[in-house]
Homo-oligomer: A and B are copies of this chain.
């Protein structure tokens, strides 16, 4: 798949909250996933597809998703960006909050090899 095709698939599957389908079909085995902040003092980087699967498990088990909207994609060469707006509640604390962030993705040989998540700071 071209970068644009991968990008459009990410938007389509994210809007369906089909996280595992996205992982299984679009990600390289040695993908690196980078958060802006690390949880619990660990590294903000997760290495490998199974590590990303763990992040999805954490998300699905921990969050009640009221809405999750993907905007874009924006595409150039081997890079694409998707902008996300979400409204979620933490299942443990019931704390509800809105998230706004972008994902910056790098594609190689038709698969996502790197993703970085950048929260909105304004």
Which residues of A are interface residues toward B (Cβ below 8 A)?
A: 4, 7-8, 11, 34-36, 44, 72-77, 79-81, 83, 100-102, 104, 116-122
Contacts and interface: CB of A to CB of B under 8 A. Distances in A.
Contact of A118 (B34, B35, B36, B74): B74
13 contacts: A11-B122, A35-B76, A36-B75, A72-B120, A72-B122, A73-B122, A74-B102, A74-B120, A80-B118, A81-B81, A81-B118, A83-B102, A104-B104
Contact of A36 (B8, B34, B77, B100): B77
A119 B11 contact: no
A101 B116 contact: no
Contacts of A77: 34, 36, 44, 116
Contact of A116 (B34, B35, B76): B76
A119 B85 CA distance: 19
Top 4 nearest A-B pairs by Cβ distance? A36-B76, A74-B118, A76-B118, A74-B102
